[in-house]
Amino acid sequence: MKSSTALKSVGNAFKGRDVVTWLDYSTDEILELLDLAQSLKKQPHSKKLEGKTLAMIFEKSSTRTRVSFEAGMLQMGGHAIYLNSKDIQLGRGETIADTAKVLSSYVDGIMIRTFHTETVTELAKHASVPVINGLCDTYHPCQALADVLTILELKGSFKGVKAVFIGDGNNVAHSFMILAAKLGMDVVVSCPEGYEPVKEIEEQTLQLAKLNGGSYTLHYDPVEAVAGANIVYTDVWASMGQEEEAETRMTAFTPYQVNAGLMSHAAADASFLHCLPAHREEEVTAEVIDGPQSAVFQQAENRLHVQKAILQSVL
């Protein structure tokens, strides 16, 4: 597998790199991406990627990932090609390695939204162009970068921010934990027993938090978890591919619903985040997600700006 930190051109620390997980990037590099995203938000149109083409492979359906990547490429003068995995040869048994090699000869980068992390790493191993993880079962790095950009806009800084993720210890939680810890926030996860984040990622988050002046804590009591929180973040209780577990998960997660009662334990200036799509009256009440503390649509818009920052940097 090509090193995610290997440079493919002198003078540009990002060009040619894969974006699989933020564990591969330093805090300074993440801050640089955020700075670029803020600049692109102010000046959205350019010709920075004129003549560049991005292949977008989707095994999982999407609204925000597809539109933000496609619109981002167009706004920077490039082009994006939507590839449903069922409609290309991957769906007929072609190996990931062969697909990676062929696409590398046609396009300047590949984004994939898939189930298995191994699919992303295998694609990156055999592609000679940058591979961007648009989502897999372990990580959702692009979403997390939009999350922390939103927090920076809302709070003005990362230091001293208590960010609480309520719900399933899933891919969204993993990438958010890693990035928040790298940026020195006090990270808290609250979930039912049996739905904790992957232990290895918890350990990595704890180490990163200590290194960057923050902290990491796991709480099973959601009220205790959100006490004094500046950010309260949640996600759906059953993600794509977990539909058969929906009833069991509903029972387990009902005490973790983000509602006005739970938000009352957070700081007075607390903001609510959700990666969307949301199931109102399940993981969050309409009163909260549509209320004055909610920043979910600012967060969703920021997917476009961070996607563009990633694309401009690695392409």
Contact 226, 262 (CB under 8 A): yes
The pLDDT confidence band at residue 9, using thresholds 50, 70 and 90, is: very low
- The arrangement of strands across the sheet holding 53-58 comes to 79-84, 53-58, 109-113, 131-135
- Report which residue type is found at 77: G
Q: What distance in Å separates the CA atoms of residue 305 and residue 69, rounded to the nearest whole number?
A: 9
Catalytic residue check, 143: yes
Helix (H) or strand (E) holding 82: strand 79-84
180 and 264 share one domain:
yes
Asked whether residue 10 is domain-assigned, the answer is no
Asked whether residue 122 is domain-assigned, the answer is yes
Asked whether the predicted pLDDT for residue 3 surpasses 80, the reply is no
Q: What distance in Å separates the CA atoms of residue 293 and residue 272, rounded to the nearest whole number?
A: 6
169 and 265 share one domain:
yes
Active site residue: 275, 299, 305, 307, which one? 275
Asked whether residue 19 is domain-assigned, the answer is no
205 and 267 share one domain:
yes
Using only the alpha carbons of the chain, give its radius of gyration. Answer: 19
Contact 136, 120 (CB under 8 A): yes
Catalytic residue check, 35: no
95 and 211 share one domain:
no
For 80-102, how does the pLDDT look when each residue is reduced to its tens digit (9 = 90+)?
999 998 889 987 889 999 999 99
283 and 174 share one domain:
yes
In the annotated binding site for carbamoyl phosphate, the residues are 62-65, 89, 113, 140-143, 275-276, 303
41 and 166 share one domain:
no
For 132-177, how does the pLDDT look when each residue is reduced to its tens digit (9 = 90+)?
999 999 999 999 999 999 999 999 999 999 999 999 999 999 999 9
In the annotated binding site for L-ornithine, the residues are 171, 235, 239-240
257 and 286 share one domain:
yes
Catalytic residue check, 235: yes
296 and 159 share one domain:
yes
Active site residue: 17, 140, 174, 274, which one? 140
Q: What is the pLDDT of residue 92?
A: 81
For 237-274, how does the pLDDT look when each residue is reduced to its tens digit (9 = 90+)?
987 667 778 889 999 999 999 999 999 999 999 999 99
State which residues form the domain around 162: 143-300
199 and 264 share one domain:
yes
In the annotated binding site, the residues are 62-65, 89, 113, 140-143, 171, 235, 239-240, 275-276, 303
Structural domain count of the chain: 2
The DSSP output letter for 210 is: H
150 and 244 share one domain:
yes
Strands 79-84 and 53-58, sheet pairing: parallel
**Across 120-141, average pLDDT:** 98
Contact 91, 85 (CB under 8 A): yes
| Predicted model pTM | 0.94
Catalytic residue check, 312: no
CATH number, position 267:
3.40.50.1370
